């Protein structure tokens, strides 16, 4: 019995599906078994119509399509092509057991791209489970970016059938990207100097700009606190464009997330930025679903930025659920029928007012909030959550003589210099995501700095997590100064960004 392979997305990962077709002596019928979703069941009509366009006539037999494993639910109209190929080539002597096929069929036999084709093939390629694949012509521009696979493309079902009857050579995938890059240990890190939002647009706020630079250089979580209109959101939205360069794997992962969120992937080395509204539900931010768990904003922000504006206005359940992804850089969603674990290595940026009216820190405007209102406002943020934020910034009040001082281009150059320092140390992660072992290796202090840190632990009541955050931020500040070791000035500046009661 002939078979061909396809795949379905099971949460965040692709699972291989073996497609089989049997012709049985019985009353003529066409059925698909193997927990096929509605989009696959509907493919029967698309397949019948498309096969009629290649002069194929169904035999007076029962046609049964089996999707194995039968205990895995399958979804996606891209199963049309493998089903049609197996039926059309059932009597062919060609063996295509090592082929994967993806594509939705039009009633006239045309092959169409879908949002699931690229992320599914990418997931299979990362696990080295796919070598040869047949896709629609419209999918080639995206799939060709995935390394290590042979691509056969077709515009119509007839062209796809001809792949097995003629000697058509595949298109080899190419990982060449037309962007500037930094190369270290034979690995390229791509970047694009495109600053749609520039720090030159921000007048004054020197402390906030410095903190933004440190945050970007090491991917450190940051919280901006200040009066309305002082520039909190402006700083947050500009950090995205000065983040460190990206590896090919990160660019492909970002494109995969774009496809899963129904966006056209750009394959540009610009990190993703997700900014959900404070009224968003917990399920939309973290993922969920009653039966099949789906990814949320936290997963879509992986390797990029997750920005929460008006932080205290988010639901308490949402804020407290942030603890695990911020601490462990991963999140597990469990449901009765499925479990999904995905990485959450994002830069968390938050902005908030100091009080409900926003004027608590202002020297010009009077605060209209009572002490009880201010306390309730602050109590919406728990200490464990705030302790997971590396850098706390209190914004300056706007002055008439404020001027722009540094551009995003200049800041990005400094970020790249710090990035090279981290590469040369052989770190697997950027400073903000270092493990405890890497902290012990790369964030060593001399006797004088250890005394300063011990004094700060007693004075500011730093937790174990807070101590590690201080060391990681100090390491990034040292990298920005091109210093191999953490100096006293680096440690003191890092301590100045810790949360104050």
- 374-415 pLDDT, tens digit each: 999 999 999 999 999 999 999 988 888 889 899 999 999 999
CB atoms within 10 A of CB 376: 13
Give domain status of residue 381, yes or no: yes
9 and 96 together in one domain: yes
Q: What per-residue confidence (pLDDT) applies to 177?
A: 81
Phi-psi region of 50 (alpha: psi -120 to 50; beta: other; left: phi over 0): alpha
pLDDT in tens, 194-215: 899 999 999 999 999 999 999 9
103 and 69 together in one domain: yes
State how beta strands 347-352 and 222-225 pair: parallel
What is the domain count for the chain? Answer: 3
3-state SS class at 409: helix
Mean pLDDT across the stretch 156-164? 91
* Residue 211 in tokens: 């903190």
Q: What per-residue confidence (pLDDT) applies to 201?
A: 93
- Closest by CA position to 106, among listed 154, 60, 170, 57: 154
In angstroms, the first-to-last Cα distance of the chain is: 71
Write out the E strands in 347-462. Answer: 347-352, 391-394
In terms of Cβ atoms closer than 10 Å to its own Cβ (0-12, 13-18, 19+), residue 303 is buried
Peptide bond preceding 294 in cis form (omega within 30 of 0)? no
373 and 465 together in one domain: no
100 and 128 together in one domain: yes
369 and 397 together in one domain: yes
369 and 475 together in one domain: no
The proportion of the chain whose per-residue pLDDT surpasses 90, expressed as a percent, equals: 71
**Tokens 């049309």 -> residue:** 80
Q: What is the C-alpha separation between 253 and 487, in angstroms, rounded?
A: 37
- Closest by CA position to 66, among listed 51, 88, 87: 87
240 and 350 together in one domain: yes
Which domain does 292 fall in, by range? 184-409
Provide the pLDDT confidence category of residue 336 given band limits of 50, 70 and 90.
low
245 and 309 together in one domain: yes
Give domain status of residue 427, yes or no: no
189 and 274 together in one domain: yes
pTM of the prediction? Answer: 0.88
Rg (CA), the chain: 27
- Average pLDDT value over all residues in the chain: 91
228 and 138 together in one domain: no
Give domain status of residue 244, yes or no: yes
Provide the pLDDT confidence category of residue 269 given band limits of 50, 70 and 90.
very high
pLDDT at 90 over 60: yes
3-state SS class at 165: coil
Provide the pLDDT confidence category of residue 290 given band limits of 50, 70 and 90.
low
Q: What is the C-alpha separation between 343 and 304, in angstroms, rounded?
A: 11
Q: What is the DSSP letter of 322?
A: T
Give domain status of residue 310, yes or no: yes
pLDDT at 244 over 80: yes
Give domain status of residue 399, yes or no: yes
466 and 375 together in one domain: no
Provide the pLDDT confidence category of residue 96 given band limits of 50, 70 and 90.
confident
pLDDT at 21 over 70: yes
Q: What per-residue confidence (pLDDT) applies to 292?
A: 59
Q: What per-residue confidence (pLDDT) applies to 291?
A: 58
- CATH value at residue 23: 3.30.230.10
* Residue 249 in tokens: 């794997």
H/E segment holding residue 493: helix 488-496
pLDDT in tens, 465-488: 999 999 999 999 999 999 999 999
254 and 303 together in one domain: yes
Give domain status of residue 423, yes or no: no
Q: What per-residue confidence (pLDDT) applies to 293?
A: 61
């Amino acid at each position: 019995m002939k078979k061909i392979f396809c795949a379905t997305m099971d949460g965040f990962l692709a699972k291989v599906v073996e497609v089989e077709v049997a012709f049985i002596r019985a009353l003529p019928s066409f059925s698909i078994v193997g927990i096929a979703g509605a989009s696959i069941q509907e493919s029967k009509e698309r397949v019948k119509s498309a096969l009629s366009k290649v002069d194929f006539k169904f035999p007076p037999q029962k046609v049964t399509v089996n999707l194995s494993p039968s205990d895995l639910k399958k979804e996606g109209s891209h199963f049309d092509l493998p089903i049609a190929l197996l039926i059309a080539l059932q009597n062919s002597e060609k063996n295509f057991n090592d082929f994967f096929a993806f594509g939705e069929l039009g009633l006239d036999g045309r092959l169409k791209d879908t949002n699931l084709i690229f992320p599914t093939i990418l997931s299979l390629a990362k696990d080295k489970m796919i070598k040869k694949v047949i896709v629609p012509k419209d999918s080639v521009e995206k799939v060709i970016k995935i390394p290590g696979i042979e691509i056969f493309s077709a515009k119509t079902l007839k062209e796809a059938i001809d792949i097995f009857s003629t000697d058509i050579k595949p298109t080899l995938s190419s990982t060449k990207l037309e962007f500037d890059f930094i190369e270290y240990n034979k690995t390229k890190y791509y970047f694009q100097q495109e600053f749609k939002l520039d720090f030159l647009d921000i007048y004054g706020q020197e402390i906030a700009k410095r903190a933004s630079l440190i945050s970007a250089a090491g991917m450190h979580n940051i919280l901006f606190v200040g009066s309305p209109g002082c520039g909190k959101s402006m700083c947050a939205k500009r950090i995205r464009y000065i983040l460190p360069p990206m590896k090919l794997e990160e660019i492909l992962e970002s494109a995969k997330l774009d496809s899963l969120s129904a966006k056209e992937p750009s394959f540009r080395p610009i990190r993703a930025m997700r900014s959900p509204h404070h009224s968003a539900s917990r399920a939309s931010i973290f993922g969920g679903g009653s039966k099949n768990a789906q990814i949320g904003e936290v997963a879509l922000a992986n390797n990029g930025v997750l920005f929460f504006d008006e932080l205290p206005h988010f639901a308490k359940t949402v804020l407290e659920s942030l603890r695990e992804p911020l601490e462990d850089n991963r999140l597990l969603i469990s449901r009765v029928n499925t479990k999904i674990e995905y990485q959450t290595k994002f830069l968390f940026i938050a902005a908030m007012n100091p009080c409900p009216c926003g004027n608590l820190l202002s020297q010009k405007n009077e605060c209209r909030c009572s002490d009880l209102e201010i306390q309730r406002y602050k109590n919406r943020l728990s200490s464990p959550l705030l302790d997971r934020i590396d850098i706390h910034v209190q914004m300056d009040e706007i002055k008439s003589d404020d001027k722009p001082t540094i551009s995003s281009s200049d800041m990005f150059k400094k970020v790249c210099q710090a990035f090279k320092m981290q590469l040369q140390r052989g770190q697997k992660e950027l400073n903000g995501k270092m493990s405890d072992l890497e902290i012990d290796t790369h964030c060593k202090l001399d006797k004088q700095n250890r005394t300063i840190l011990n004094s700060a632990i007693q004075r500011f009541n730093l937790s174990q997590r807070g101590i590690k955050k201080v060391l990681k931020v100090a390491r990034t500040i040292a990298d920005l100064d091109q210093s191999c070791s953490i100096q006293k000035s680096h440690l003191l500046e890092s301590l100045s960004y810790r949360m104050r009661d």
